[in-house]
Amino acid sequence: MGKLTGKIVWVTGAGTGIGEGAALALASEGATLVLTGRRAAPLEEVAARIGAAGGAAHVQPGDMTNAAAVKAIADWIETTLGRIDIFVANAGINILDRGWDQITAEGIDTVLHGNLDSVFYGAIAVLPIMRRQQGGQIIVTASMAGRWVGLMSGPAYVAAKHGVVAACHTINMQECVNGIRCTAVLPGEVATPILDKRPVPVSAEERGRMAQKEDVGDLIRYIACLPPHVVINEVMICPTWNRGYVAGLQRKSTN
C-alpha cells in the first residue's frame, strides 16, 4: 500500500513534461489521478501507463485559462470521486518572442493567462472543496524565474511566476487554519517540451545535463507524501551543471 492510497489527486498539464512525471510518481504511491490538459491524446497515454501499472486515472481535458471550465472539472471530481486531496497546478506556457522589443499584447495575455491566471482559477476551484474537507494540499510548479529576475525567460514569464510564488505563500497564510497547505516548486532548467519555445535552440546534449521530468515528479511525490502537520512552503530543484553558473565561470576566466 502506497502512502497516497485512497487520495484523489488532480494534476494539470499532465500530458507531458513535469505534469506527466508528477502524475506517474503520484500514481506509484497509490493515488487516484485526475489528468487535465488541453489535448486529450497525451492524457490518455499517461492514463494508460498508470492503468498498466495497476493504478487508476481519469482523463478530464480542459483549458486552465478558462475559469468556468476549471470549476466544472473541480465540481466533477468532487461529485464523482468525493473529494480533492491534492491539486498539482502545473500547467504553463512561454512564447518565443518574449523580450520587451518583441512581445505583443497577445503574447502577454498568453503568458499571464497560462501561468498566473490558471493557478488562481485552479485555487479558487479547489479551495472551497478543501475547506469543506478541512484539509488539502496544493503544489504549484513555479520557476526559478519566480524568485530571481532575469531576461532569459522574458518579462511576462518572470512576472507571472513571481505572482505564482507570492500566491502560494498567501494561501498558507490564510488557509492554514483549515488544514490546507501550499508548496511552490521552483525548478531550474528541466528537459521538457517548453524548451522548444526558447528563442535560442537547446541541444540534446544540453538537455541531457538538465533536470528531468522524473526528477521533479519525484520531488512532487515527496512533498505530497509529507504528513499533514508540515508544509514545505517553497523549494528549488536545479541541474548540477547549472548553465547560468557555468556561463559566469566562463566570463570570470576571460577577465
Q: Which residues are catalytic?
A: 157
Locate all alpha helices (DSSP H) within the chain, ordered by sequence: 17-28, 40-52, 67-81, 105-112, 118-133, 155-175, 204-209, 213-224, 243-254
Residue 130 in contact with residue 178, Cβ under 8 Å?
yes
What are the residue ranges of helices labelled H in 134-212? 155-175, 204-209
* Residues 6 or more apart in contact with residue 174 via CB below 8 angstroms: none
Report how far apart, in Å, the C-alpha atoms of 216 and of each of 28, 182, 234, 238 are: 15, 16, 14, 9
Q: 225 burial class (0-12, 13-18, 19+ CB within 10 angstroms)?
A: middle
Residue pair 176/195 in contact by the 8 Å Cβ criterion = no
